[in-house]
Amino acid sequence: MQLLRPRTIENRVIYTPIKPFVYFSPVDWLSRLLARPGVEAEMDAAWSKSKDSRADGVMRDIFDGEILRNFKGPNGRHFMLGNGEGRYVFSLSVDFFNPLGNKAAGKKISIGLISLVCLNLPPHLRYRSENMFLAGVIPGPKEPLLSDVNNFLAPLVDDFLKMWDPGIQLSRTDDHPLGRLVRCAIICVVCDLPAARKLAGFASSAHTHFCAICHCSLKTKGGGKAQGNLGEVAGKGTGNSKAERKARKAERKAKAQGKGRTSEAAGKGLNDTDYYSWERRNNLDCRKAAKHFRRAGPSTAAAESIVDQTGVRWSQLLRLPYFDPSRFVIVDAMHNLFLGLIHKHFTGILGIQLLPDKEKDKPVFQCNMSKDWSGFTQNGIASMKKVIRWLEHPMTAQLSTDDGMKLWLKKLSNERADVLKFICNEYSLAPIPFDPRKTHNFHRADHARAILQWVISLSPLRTTADYQSNL
């Protein structure tokens, strides 16, 4: 594969990388972080705070979890017992995005960011941009395929191997002017599903072995193993052994029979809700399958057969002696919780939801429109019904707080301008611009302020003057 291309600079031909990878040293970044006043003390206090907070049995941070409570250092003792050393843990994240914006039309370009967060920092500090570490930028225009992401992880893993054992000796920190030995570890991978699978070496979520936690399969009932003899499959890695030819033939037959996943065998693993029979993945099995994959070679038929049987590939993170791929891949909280995928899955797909409380959801008043708004487009009618539903139901309790007003102002401002204008004209509401001197060319937010002021005026919870002072 060609890695360099010729370039002519001042009549001289030089060779430059086709895809340059921008990488930053975590050692340099950590040195600067520990030199900032007060930061080192906060990071060292994370271990003692978690020990004190576990007295009531409530988990308040990742340090209260089982992984870090039992995490061992290079010497076999608990990682927090460092005899004056700095012991810090990190979460690793890789995310891909379109630098030109998420547009429906045009060529899609995707680049990736490799970032780390020091979990020793308090929760209110660890995710601030000035406290996060950008390790590297994965060049585009396309995302790396499957195991190719290992090429970008290699320098980061090299640095963290040194930061684990023997550790790095810093000449000076904020609390240790004479220097200090520091050891660090990557304790978890926090990404969306596609990126997490690539980083940890698991097959995609659409694979037969789709789960990174258990052996649940689309082909085996109850999540039982379907691994076979990995040593025999890996063989010599040439793809010509009798076992390999037999495995490929069986694989083609299975694919032909289960095409489209419409057969009964294609969904037995998912239909079995007896979780006592589920078998969890473990570190030893994952590493064994990954080593066989690496020994067979990433582009051989034997390697693909191993992935088909186990759903595991080799990952650079497995070079870290403490990394457990079966436990260090975290559930994607951002998409599942904050963006509401779990709510959508349970209510929209599974149909699990509470019946509506008619008394609780009873409209406060009726929005009777004197003017006909049936002439709106289909999207306009949908927007109008949504706004009317908001106005008819109790919202003044939320509007009594500053955060609630900002939330509703943002929600209304995202609706169609013609709908907001129609409601303002219906109830004779004058737009309220952010700049009082403005007398024309009103925006959606100006009409939204007028509507919210009208709602506030109908409730004794807050006066119009109080409301205007916060808009």
Choose the weakest-confidence range: 57-61, 131-135, 239-243, 358-362: 239-243
Q: Which helix (H) or strand (E) holds 46?
A: helix 39-53
Count of domains for the chain: 2
Query: Is residue 243 situated within a structural domain?
Result: no
CA angle 203, 206, 212 (to 5 degrees): 45
Choose the weakest-confidence range: 343-347, 401-405, 422-426: 343-347
pLDDT of residue 40: 92
Using DSSP's 3-state secondary structure scheme, residue 320 falls into coil
Helix locations, 311-377, DSSP H: 333, 341-344
* Distance between CA atoms of residues 393 and 423, nearest Å: 16
* Distance between CA atoms of residues 450 and 387, nearest Å: 14
Structural tokens at position 138: 């994965």
Give me the mean pLDDT over the 424-452 stretch. Answer: 87
Sign of CA dihedral 356, 362, 368, 369: negative
Sign of CA dihedral 442, 443, 447, 453: negative
Can you name the residues that pair with 16 across neighbouring β-strands? 5
* Confidence band for 458, pLDDT divided at 50, 70 and 90: confident
Note the pLDDT tens digit of each residue in 3-36.
788 888 888 988 888 888 889 999 999 999 999 9
* Distance between CA atoms of residues 150 and 320, nearest Å: 13
* Distance between CA atoms of residues 304 and 296, nearest Å: 9
pLDDT of residue 337: 73
pLDDT at 82 over 60: yes
Query: Is residue 195 situated within a structural domain?
Result: yes
Strand 22-23 and strand 132-138: pairing? antiparallel
Choose the weakest-confidence range: 175-184, 219-228, 366-375: 219-228
Q: Are the C-beta atoms of residues 133 and 29 closer than 8 Å to each other?
A: yes
3-state DSSP percent of the chain in helix, strand and coil, to 5: 45, 15, 40
Query: Is residue 47 situated within a structural domain?
Result: yes
More confident residue, 124 or 265: 124
Query: Is residue 85 situated within a structural domain?
Result: yes
Domain boundary among 184, 201, 218: 201
Query: Is residue 361 situated within a structural domain?
Result: no
**Rg of the chain, C-alpha, whole Å:** 29
Mean pLDDT of the chain: 80
Q: Which residues contact 211 (CB under 8 A, 6 or more apart)?
A: 223, 281, 311
Query: Is residue 289 situated within a structural domain?
Result: no
Query: Is residue 393 situated within a structural domain?
Result: yes
Closest CA to 171 of 356, 28, 332, 322: 28
Note the pLDDT tens digit of each residue in 301-348.
888 888 888 889 999 999 999 999 999 998 777 777 777 777 777 777
Residue ranges making up the domain that contains 416: 378-469
Domain boundary among 166, 186, 201: 201
pLDDT of residue 244: 52
Query: Is residue 238 situated within a structural domain?
Result: no
Q: Is the peptide bond preceding residue 122 cis, with omega within 30 degrees of 0? A: no
Note the pLDDT tens digit of each residue in 253-279.
554 444 433 333 333 466 677 777 778
Domain boundary among 158, 186, 201: 201
pLDDT of residue 373: 78
* Distance between CA atoms of residues 319 and 35, nearest Å: 30
pLDDT of residue 34: 94
Please report, rounded to a whole number, the percentage of residues in the chain having pLDDT higher than 90: 26
pLDDT of residue 394: 67
pLDDT of residue 52: 61
